[in-house]
């Protein structure tokens, strides 16, 4: 087919010259500024060796219609002369062969910098056929970003950390690894917030432009490349440069992230004719990951244009889309802006690949993505506003109640969960009377609620249903020693003593299991109800109470192997007089560790 096209190049040029552009499709309104997705298309200049081999341009911009391109393809017919098959695409912001990378940077990349500087997530990724100029564009855009981050134009001080890695098939490799054997493998893991963490990847703090550029050069030297039909130095992996921007202000807990992604080029069948078996496998993995990327693009385009409640986005099916989860996950909590740069070859020999690239650029251009804050759910801390957080603190932080303005002056539920535990405890203890144990117990209580909400496959929306809960079901699923029937403030502690309650008490000096911190016990039954065969931890029979003194048979609670954890030893029993009991302590069971923890 390539030979046929070259033989009919004059016919092709004549048909293109006669072409009368039809009106562009207007199925998508002009791109609104409120959209979190910007699409741009860059047309690579035709190269000298392409011209010398007889190739001519096949894609043309329209002078009077911004964002519209015409693509011409020579169609072979059974009889007669070949005909022209023309397509028109709306491809966002279109940059022709005479456009500079600096112009592209100012239009679509520079606006991301203040966004991530303020603690949000920004992404730029370039995709297209191999040899279309993706790596050329991204490498120069990275240099522009490196200069802008340190030129003083952005307000305030930030710490900037850099990670650069490549994704090939199902593997991820650290391009900044110091290992002599080359890039070290690492894992992409999803944390309890739904964020993707680079487990095992190196991260370097940079303080000036030159330091950043040096890391880029190091990563480029390690990146996997190979010669292809279209490009003698084609990238055979997806490269990701991730910048983490930290605000040293203690009141700001969200780091900003900027992802600069250079995707490996897709290859058509004619491009892989001479590949070895290993290269064929490599190409299949690249094309498979790009196929998943396209599936994700189709899915978010469907979410944008459909009124359906949910659409499945398969971002977990490849390491590439898993890394870009923040772009494709419709339930993501972080605010994200994305710039997509579609790179195309101009030659009429590549119209098939160019058409494919433009089709997805047009699909993304028609997509309207705006960040939608998840609806409030009292059982899901990630959905809480600052007002919800303060209400939870006042009602659930124990006695005395933690001052909400000390703990969460501005934080949402998601931000409070990300607060380091030491800062959380320090803020709680600003409230008079709040101890470190109470603060840590409250932190554990909040996190238990968060992890439980993440584990549930589906959660009822607030306000739905009858508003009543089956008491038996609630009791069966309860993991806490809290009395579910108790109302606040409840009766005095002495009147609440019952089997199953956990108490703190003051043991005598000769007690063999005296704890350094508080001493805990679980009430089993009144002393007089223990029975004549009951034996305490010392081996003595449990006697009936003397002189009307009220006491209870209790089980020993000892510290576990991990910090602030406890184990209940039901077989180690002893009698505790009511006068030695101090207060009720709420224990909550953690199935993951099989330990109990103090709650509030």
Which residues, at least 6 apart from 224, have a Cβ–Cβ distance to it below 8 Å? 166, 168, 235, 236, 237
Distances (CA, A) of 383 to 115, 275, 450: 22, 51, 10
| Nearest in space to 150 (alpha carbons), one of 162, 160, 140 | 160
Q: Which H or E run contains 380?
A: none
According to the 3-state scheme, what is the secondary structure of 498-543? Answer: CCCCEEEECCCCCCCCCCCCCEEEEEEEEHHHCCCCCECCCCCECC
Asked if residue 541 lies in contact with residue 535, where contact means CB atoms within 8 angstroms, the answer is: yes
Q: 399 in helix, strand or coil?
A: coil
Asked if residue 140 lies in contact with residue 124, where contact means CB atoms within 8 angstroms, the answer is: no
Q: Is 306 known as a binding-site position?
A: no
Instruction: Please spell the DSSP secondary structure of 226-268, one letter per residue.
Output: E--SS-TTEE-SEEEEEEEEE---TT--PPEEEEEEEPPPB--
Query: What ranges in 29-95 are assigned the alpha helix state H?
Result: 48-52
Q: Is 456 known as a binding-site position?
A: no
> Which token pair is 506?
């003051």
Tally helices (H) and strands (E) across the chain. Answer: 17, 23
Instruction: Please spell the DSSP secondary structure of 571-584, one letter per residue.
Output: EEEEEEEGGGEEEE
* Rama region for 137: left / alpha / beta (φ>0; ψ in -120 to 50; rest): alpha
Asked if residue 202 lies in contact with residue 180, where contact means CB atoms within 8 angstroms, the answer is: no
Radius of gyration of the chain (CA): 32
> Which token pair is 349?
């020999």
How far is 389 from 518, CA to CA, in rounded Å?
29
595-599, strands of its sheet edge to edge: 581-584, 502-505, 519-526, 551-559, 566-577, 595-599, 586-590
Q: Is 135 known as a binding-site position?
A: yes
Instruction: Please spell the DSSP secondary structure of 420-432, one letter per residue.
Output: -HHHHHHHHTTST
Asked if residue 242 lies in contact with residue 163, where contact means CB atoms within 8 angstroms, the answer is: yes
Distance of CA 592 to the CA centre of its chain: 23
| Nearest in space to 482 (alpha carbons), one of 498, 459, 462 | 498
Q: Is 131 known as a binding-site position?
A: yes
How far is 44 from 229, CA to CA, in rounded Å?
17
Q: Is 460 known as a binding-site position?
A: no
Distances (CA, A) of 468 to 266, 395, 481: 55, 20, 21
Q: Is 283 known as a binding-site position?
A: no
The DSSP bridge pattern shows strands 121-128 and 93-95 to be unpaired
Residues belonging to the binding site are 128-135
Residues belonging to the binding site for ATP are 128-135
């Amino acid at each position: 087919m390539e030979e046929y096209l070259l033989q009919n190049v004059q016919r092709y040029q004549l048909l293109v010259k006669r072409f009368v552009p039809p009106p562009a499709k207007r199925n998508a309104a002009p791109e609104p500024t409120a959209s979190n997705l910007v699409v741009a298309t860059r047309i690579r200049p035709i190269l000298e060796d392409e011209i010398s081999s007889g190739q001519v341009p096949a894609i043309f911009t329209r002078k009077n219609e911004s964002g519209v391109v015409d693509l011409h393809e020579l169609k072979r017919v059974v009889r007669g002369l070949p005909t022209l098959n023309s397509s028109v695409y709306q491809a966002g912001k279109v940059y022709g062969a005479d456009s500079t990378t600096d112009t592209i940077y100012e239009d679509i990349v520079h606006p991301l910098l203040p966004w991530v500087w303020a603690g949000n997530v920004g992404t730029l990724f370039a995709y297209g056929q191999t040899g279309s100029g993706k790596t050329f564009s991204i490498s120069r855009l990275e240099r522009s970003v490196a200069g802008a981050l340190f030129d003083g134009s952005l307000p305030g001080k930030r710490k900037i950390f850099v990670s650069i890695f490549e994704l090939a098939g199902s593997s991820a490799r650290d391009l900044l690894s110091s290992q002599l054997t080359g890039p070290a493998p690492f894992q992409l893991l999803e944390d309890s917030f739904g964020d993707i963490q680079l487990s095992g990847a190196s991260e370097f703090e940079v303080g000036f432009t030159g330091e950043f550029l040096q890391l880029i050069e190091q990563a480029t030297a390690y990146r996997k490349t190979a010669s292809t039909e279209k490009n003698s130095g084609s990238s055979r992996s997806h490269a990701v440069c991730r910048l983490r921007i930290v605000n040293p202000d203690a009141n700001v807990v969200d780091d900003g992230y900027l992802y600069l992604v250079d995707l490996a080029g897709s290859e058509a069948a004619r491009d892989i004719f001479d590949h070895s078996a290993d290269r064929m496998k490599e190409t299949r993995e690249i094309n498979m990951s790009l196929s998943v990327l396209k599936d994700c693009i189709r899915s978010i385009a469907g979410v944008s244009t459909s009124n359906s409640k949910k659409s499945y986005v398969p971002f977990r099916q490849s390491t590439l889309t898993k890394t870009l989860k923040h772009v494709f996950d419709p339930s993501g909590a972080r605010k994200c802006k994305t710039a997509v740069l579609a790179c195309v070859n101009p030659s009429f020999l590549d119209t098939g690949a160019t058409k494919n690239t433009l089709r997805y650029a047009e699909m993304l251009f028609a997509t309207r993505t705006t960040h939608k804050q998840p609806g409030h759910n009292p059982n899901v801390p990630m959905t809480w506003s600052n007002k919800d957080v303060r209400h939870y603190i006042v009602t659930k932080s124990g006695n005395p109640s933690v001052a909400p303005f000390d703990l969460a002056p501005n934080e949402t539920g998601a931000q409070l969960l990300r607060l380091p535990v030491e800062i959380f405890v320090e803020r709680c203890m600003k409230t008079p009377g709040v101890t470190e144990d109470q603060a840590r117990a409250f932190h554990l209580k909040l996190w238990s609620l968060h992890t439980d909400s993440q584990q549930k496959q589906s959660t009822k929306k607030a306000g739905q249903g009858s508003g009543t809960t089956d008491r038996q079901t609630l009791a069966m699923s309860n993991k806490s020693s809290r009395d579910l029937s108790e109302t606040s403030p409840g009766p005095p502690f002495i009147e609440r003593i019952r089997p199953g309650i956990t108490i703190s008490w003051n043991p005598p000096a000769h007690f063999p299991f005296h704890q350094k911190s508080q001493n805990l016990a679980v009430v089993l039954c009144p002393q007089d109800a223990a029975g004549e065969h009951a034996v305490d931890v010392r081996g003595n029979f449990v006697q009936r109470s003397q002189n009307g003194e009220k006491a209870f048979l209790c089980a020993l609670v000892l510290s576990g192997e991990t910090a602030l954890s406890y184990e209940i030893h039901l077989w180690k029993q002893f009698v505790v007089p009511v006068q030695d009991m101090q207060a009720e302590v709420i224990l909550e069971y953690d199935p993951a560790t099989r330990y109990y923890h103090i709650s509030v």
